[in-house]
C-alpha cells in the first residue's frame, strides 16, 4: 500500500491534494473495512453499514491487486476474501449482503427466505459475477491458483445452475422478494415475483447493482458481466482445473446469454443509432437509461465485455452522457451519471471514475480526475453522490467502493493498471 502511494506521489509531483486523497482513500479501505477472520478468510464491510456486499467487497480490494504480486500479505487477504465470498454463496446464492456472524442483523423482516447470516436477500446477477472476477484477477496479477479449490468449483457450478434456472424465471424459479413499508424500488411487484418476462436466453435479475428493483427482468449490463465471467470460467476450467465439463457448461450458457443480448438488448435510436438498452423483458418492453452503479452500460469496456472504440458502445456512450439519459445530470459544478437510488441531480463519483477509465481521450480522463478532486467537499473522500451544482451537498460521508474506484482512476492516469488477462 505504501509503495502504491509513493509511486502516485512520484508520478503526480504537482498534484499534492490528489496524491493525498489517493493515500487517504486507500488507507481508509485497508484500515477500516477489511477484517481478517480466525480461519484465514477476509470479511469486508461496505463502509457505514456493518455488512459485506459480494459486489462492493470485490471492488473495494481491486486496486490492491497491483501490489499483491509483491506483497504476500495482500495476496493472502484477497484470497481470504474470495474464499469468504464463496462460503457466502454456499449459504445462499440469491443473497447480496451478509453478516460476519449468524447474528440476525439486517433486513430480517423481508418476505423471502432469510436466515441469520444474511443482511439482505436482493438477488442481483452481479453479486455472483464479482467473486468469479476477483478470483480470476488474483490469478492473472499474481499467478496464484490456490483460490480455485473445491469450494470455488462447487460455487461456480451452483452459479451456472442458478443462472440457467433464472433464464426461465417465470416458470422455473422459486425466488421471490417483498419488503413492506418501503419505496417501490425496494421491493418486487407481483407478490415478489417481479415484472412479467419471457425467455430470451439471458438470465433474470431481481435487482440492479444499486440494490434498486429492475423495471424489466433482463438487466443488460449485468448479463454482459455474466458473459465476461463465464469466459473466465472457461479459461480457468481449461488451464487450471482441467475440467472440460465445466468449460463446456460455461461456454454453452455464455453463448445463450450473448445471443439474447444481441437479439433483445439492442435498440435503434433515432438520434444515436444502434445502442444497448439498460433493461428488457423479452416481450417488447425496453428501458433506455444507465445507472451509476457497476455493472453499467458505461462500464462495459471496464468489465471487458467490449472495447471502448466499439461502434455500438460509442453510440451508447453518447446516449448515456447526454440529457437523453434520464439519470445524466449537468450542473454548474459537474456533469455526470446519477441514479434513481439517490436524489435527482446527484452525480456519483463511481460513474465519473468509470467515465474516465473507459474514455479513449486523455483530456476526458484528466477532466474526470479533476472533477473528483474538487468534489470531495474538503473531506478527502469520495461520497456516494453529490449535487451537480453544490458538491458540498452529498450522500454518505465516505463510501469505500467510490473511494477505491477513484484510486483506480488515479492509478490508470499514472500508467499503473490491474492486469485483466
pLDDT of residue 47: 84
pLDDT of residue 251: 98
Residue 188 has pLDDT above 90, yes or no: yes
| pLDDT tens digits, one per residue of 105-135 | 999 999 999 999 999 999 999 999 999 999 9
Could you count the other beta carbons within 10 Å of the beta carbon of residue 16? 10
Alpha carbons 168 and 217: distance in angstroms, whole number: 11
pLDDT of residue 308: 98
Residue 209 has pLDDT above 80, yes or no: yes
What one-character DSSP code corresponds to residue 186?
G
Q: What kind and span of H or E run contains 120? A: strand 118-120
Could you count the other beta carbons within 10 Å of the beta carbon of residue 363? 8
- The arithmetic mean of pLDDT across residues 372-379, rounded, is 96
φ, ψ of residue 420 to 5 degrees: the values are: -105, -5
- The arithmetic mean of pLDDT across residues 13-33, rounded, is 95
3-state DSSP percent of the chain in helix, strand and coil, to 5: 50, 10, 40
Mean pLDDT lowest among 10-14, 52-56, 360-364: 10-14
- Domain boundary assignment for the chain: 1-32+329-421, 83-326
Alpha carbons 22 and 27: distance in angstroms, whole number: 8
- Lookup: cell for 357: 477509465
| pLDDT tens digits, one per residue of 251-309 | 999 999 999 999 999 999 999 999 999 999 999 999 999 999 999 999 999 999 999 99
Sign of torsion over alpha carbons 357, 361, 364, 370:
positive
| pLDDT tens digits, one per residue of 63-95 | 999 999 999 999 999 999 999 999 999 999 999
Q: Which of 221, 341, 218, 224 is nearest to 281 (CA)?
A: 218
Q: Which of 46, 59, 125, 45 is nearest to 406 (CA)?
A: 59
Residue 1 has pLDDT above 80, yes or no: no
- Lookup: cell for 198: 419471457
Query: Class of 83-326 per CATH?
Result: mainly alpha
Q: How confident is the model at residue 2 (pLDDT cuts 50, 70, 90)?
A: confident
Q: How confident is the model at residue 413 (pLDDT cuts 50, 70, 90)?
A: very high
- Sequence length of the chain is 421
- The arithmetic mean of pLDDT across residues 26-47, rounded, is 96
Alpha carbons 55 and 257: distance in angstroms, whole number: 21
pLDDT of residue 48: 83
Mean pLDDT, the chain, whole residue set? 97
pLDDT of residue 398: 83
Residue 103 has pLDDT above 70, yes or no: yes
Omega into 280 within 30° of 0, i.e. cis?
Answer: no
- The arithmetic mean of pLDDT across residues 147-156, rounded, is 98
Residue 3 has pLDDT above 90, yes or no: no
Residue percentage of the chain with pLDDT more than 70: 100
- The arithmetic mean of pLDDT across residues 222-230, rounded, is 99
Mean pLDDT lowest among 7-11, 239-243, 268-272, 311-315: 7-11
- The arithmetic mean of pLDDT across residues 221-231, rounded, is 99
Contact 223, 257 (CB under 8 A): yes
| pLDDT tens digits, one per residue of 391-410 | 999 999 889 999 999 999 99
pLDDT of residue 75: 98
Alpha carbons 261 and 101: distance in angstroms, whole number: 39
Question: How many whole angstroms from its chain centre is CA 111?
Answer: 25
Amino acid at each position: 500500500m505504501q509503495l502504491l502511494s509513493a509511486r502516485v506521489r512520484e508520478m503526480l509531483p504537482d498534484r499534492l491534494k490528489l496524491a493525498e486523497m489517493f493515500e487517504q482513500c486507500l488507507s481508509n479501505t485497508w484500515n477500516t473495512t477489511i477484517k481478517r477472520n480466525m480461519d484465514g478468510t477476509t470479511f469486508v464491510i461496505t463502509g457505514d453499514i456493518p455488512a459485506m456486499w459480494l459486489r462492493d467487497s470485490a471492488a473495494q480490494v481491486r486496486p490492491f491487486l497491483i501490489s499483491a504480486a509483491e506483497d504476500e500479505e495482500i495476496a493472502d487477504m484477497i484470497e481470504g476474501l474470495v474464499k469468504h465470498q464463496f462460503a457466502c454463496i454456499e449459504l445462499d446464492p440469491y443473497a447480496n449482503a451478509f453478516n460476519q456472524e449468524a447474528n440476525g442483523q439486517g433486513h430480517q423482516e423481508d418476505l423471502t427466505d432469510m436466515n441469520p447470516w444474511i443482511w439482505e436477500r436482493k438477488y442481483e446477477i452481479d453479486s455472483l459475477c464479482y467473486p468469479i472476477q476477483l478470483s480470476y484477477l488474483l490469478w492473472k496479477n499474481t499467478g496464484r491458483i490456490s483460490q480455485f479449490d473445491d469450494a470455488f468449483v462447487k460455487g461456480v457450478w451452483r452459479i451456472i445452475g442458478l443462472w440457467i434456472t433464472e433464464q426461465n424465471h417465470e416458470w422455473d424459479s422459486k425466488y421471490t422478494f417483498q419488503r413492506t413499508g418501503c419505496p417501490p424500488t425496494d421491493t418486487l411487484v407481483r407478490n415478489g415475483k417481479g415484472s412479467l418476462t419471457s425467455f430470451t436466453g439471458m438470465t433474470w435479475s431481481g435487482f440492479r447493482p444499486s440494490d434498486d428493483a429492475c423495471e424489466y427482468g433482463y438487466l443488460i449490463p449485468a448479463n454482459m458481466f455474466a458473459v465476461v465471467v463465464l469466459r473466465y470460467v472457461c479459461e480457468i476450467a481449461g488451464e487450471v482445473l482441467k475440467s472440460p465439463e465445466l468449460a463446456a457448461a460455461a461456454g454453452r450458457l455464455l453463448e445463450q446469454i450473448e445471443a439474447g443480448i444481441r437479439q433483445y438488448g439492442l435498440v435503434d435510436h433515432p438520434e444515436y443509432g444502434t445502442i444497448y438498452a439498460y433493461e428488457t423483458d423479452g416481450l417488447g418492453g425496453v428501458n433506455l437509461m444507465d445507472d451509476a452503479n457497476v455493472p453499467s452500460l458505461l462500464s462495459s469496456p471496464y468489465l471487458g465485455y467490449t472495447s471502448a472504440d466499439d461502434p455500438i458502445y460509442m453510440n451508447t456512450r453518447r446516449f448515456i452522457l447526454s440529457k437523453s439519459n434520464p439519470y445524466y445530470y449537468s450542473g454548474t459544478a459537474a456533469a455526470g451519471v446519477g441514479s434513481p437510488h439517490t436524489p435527482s441531480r446527484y452525480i456519483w463519483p463511481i460513474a465519473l471514475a468509470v467515465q474516465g477509465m473507459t474514455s479513449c481521450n486523455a483530456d476526458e480522463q484528466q477532466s474526470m480526475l479533476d472533477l473528483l478532486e474538487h468534489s470531495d467537499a474538503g473531506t478527502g473522500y469520495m461520497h456516494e453522490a453529490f449535487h451537480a451544482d453544490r458538491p458540498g451537498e452529498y450522500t454518505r460521508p465516505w463510501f469505500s467502493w467510490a473511494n477505491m474506484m477513484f484510486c483506480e482512476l488515479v492509478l490508470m492516469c499514472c500508467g499503473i493498471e490491474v492486469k485483466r488477462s
